[in-house]
Amino acid sequence: MNNSVVKSGVAPGGPDFDFEVKLLICWVLAKVSKPMTVENMIEALVGDQFVNYFEFTGTVADLIVEGQLVEVEKDKLFRNLQPKLSFFSPTAPYAARRTGYYVLSAESRKNVLLLEHTLPLSLREKAFASANAVITKASREYGNSASIRQSGDAWSVDISVNDVGSELLHLSMYAPSPEIASFMKENFLNDPVLFYKGVIALLSGDMNQVKSLEPTPDENYY
Number of H helices, E strands in the chain: 8, 5
Angle of helix 106-115 versus helix 18-32 axis, rounded to 10? 110
For each of the domains in the chain, give its residue range(s) and CATH number, in order of start. 18-141 (1.10.10), 144-221 (no CATH)
The whole-model pTM stands at 0.61
Residues of 56-86 as b/e, b for ≥16 C-beta within 10 angstroms?
bbbbbbbbbeeebbbeeebeeebeebebeeb
Compute how many other C-beta atoms are within 10 angstroms of the C-beta atom of residue 91: 6
Per-residue pLDDT of the chain (222 residues; tens, 9 = 90+): 345 555 666 666 666 778 888 999 999 999 986 788 888 888 898 887 888 888 888 888 888 888 898 887 654 444 344 444 444 444 444 444 455 788 889 899 889 888 888 888 988 999 999 998 888 777 666 667 888 998 888 899 998 887 655 777 888 989 988 899 998 888 888 777 788 888 888 887 776 766 667 666 665 555
